[in-house]
Amino acid sequence: MKQPLKLLPYVLILNLWACGKSESTKNTPTTTEAAPNQTAALLDDEQITGEHVSGTVDDAIAATVQGDDNTAAQGLGLDPVDPSKTVKASNFRTCKESDDGKSAIVTFKRSAERDVTISKLQRSGESSFKNLSEETRTWSKDGGSVTCDSTGKHVALARADLQGVNLKIDFTDEHSRSSAYKNGRRGIDLKRSRSVKTTGTRDITWTKVEASGDNLILTRSIADKSEHTVTTSNKKSEDTTFTTSVATTTDAPLIVKVERVAKSDKLVSRTIVSGKKIATNKDGGRIETTFSNVKYLPDDGCYATSGSIAGSIFTKDATTASASFTIDFSGDTKNVVITYKDGTSKNVDYVAEGCAIEDRDVDNVAGAATEAASAAAVKLDK
């Protein structure tokens, strides 16, 4: 599927599937709690490793999208919803200025349901997504003030004036995905399901806004921390629940550049220039992930067009990694290569599709969303 940035959810949901069983050899699903052997499970099952790598990347993507809807004439992130997708969405949004007049608080709740046809990198099939998110965004500006616009739904900030603007986000996000697809390269049919609940905070500061020809380049620094509860099926058809904390490091926040056409506000690209995130498991093990010039173009959706991601997996209190991984986005395969301490390595299929549901701007697609009368009216069909 050619997906036309959601961040993210985080969003944004990226998914990495490794090995899978043919439908003719499915086992009866069971549910287990990963702790206290969560990190051991990561090292033993490369598909679960892929899911966790996916979660960290997805979290970073969601962060690149949040805060882009500062005006009513916002762009569409990484996923402008095309007419071939089934979309059902509703949202509630309001903007309120603080009593001292220095900041503005935007509160919204959004639900979205979507069916997507997968057809990319020798994979074909169908996926269904559901997403329910709620955010409180506090906008402020160094030495200045932020007000709401005339709609009472957005802050009155133009992109060209974002330098020095600070945004604090408190968010809760729940999303689920069920997929059935065929891997043409391996000749197997796969079914996967994954549900995620995330709560956390993000602190975003726009550090630079500069003109480049007819375009604007906006640079921002993002520090965040979130808690994830993930239930996913592994290659043994078992449902396993993981609890993980994901956070940027104090010395390496995400540095993100977003380029847009100045007059039309059309998105040109998003780039995670640098940054490091650490995902800490319930048992004390961790995954450290570093981003290097990971560039996303609108027409490629969740598939980066260049750059790389590298990381390591550590058991509790360990200083030496038990495994490392890389994703090189410069080629066509875009696999995750996992290398273990004994020198053996495995390639994990990279199937990026889920960040579509993390699109924070889906409510601006004509006909895709219905304004709800109250926050309580925003919900998903069960």
CA distances from 301 to 3, 5, 310 (A): 5, 6, 21
What the block records as the tokens of 339 is 């290398």
The answer to whether residues 182 and 203 touch, using CB atoms and an 8 Å cutoff, is no
Average pLDDT over residues 345-355: 67
Comparing 18-22, 149-153, 355-359, which segment has the lowest mean pLDDT?
18-22
List the beta bridge partners of residue 212: 215
- State the number of CA atoms in the 13 A half-sphere of 28 facing the CB: 0
pLDDT digits (tens, 9 = 90+) for 72-94: 333 333 343 444 466 777 888 89
CA distance 304 to 352: 10
Residue whose C-alpha is closest to residue 265's, from 164, 148, 149, 157: 157
What is the pLDDT of the chain when averaged over all its residues?
76
Greatest mean pLDDT among 29-38, 86-95, 336-345: 336-345
pLDDT digits (tens, 9 = 90+) for 142-159: 889 999 999 898 899 989
Average pLDDT over residues 271-293: 93
Higher pLDDT pick, 368 / 266:
266
Please give the model's pTM, rounded to 2 decimal places.
0.76
List the beta bridge partners of residue 217: 210, 259
Q: Which residues of 265-288 are buried (b: 16+ CB within 10 A; e: fewer)?
A: bebbbbbbeebbbbbbbbbebbbb
- State the number of CA atoms in the 13 A half-sphere of 114 facing the CB: 32
Residue whose C-alpha is closest to residue 146's, from 107, 208, 96: 96
Is the per-residue pLDDT at 369 higher than 60?
Answer: no
- Residue 374: its pLDDT value, please? 75
Q: In what helix (H) or strand (E) does residue 31 lie, and over which residues does it extend?
A: strand 31-33
pLDDT digits (tens, 9 = 90+) for 199-213: 999 999 999 999 999
Rounded to 5°, angle at Cα 52 from 36 and 187 = 115
- Residue 226: its pLDDT value, please? 92
CA distances from 39 to 36, 42, 113, 312 (A): 8, 5, 32, 12
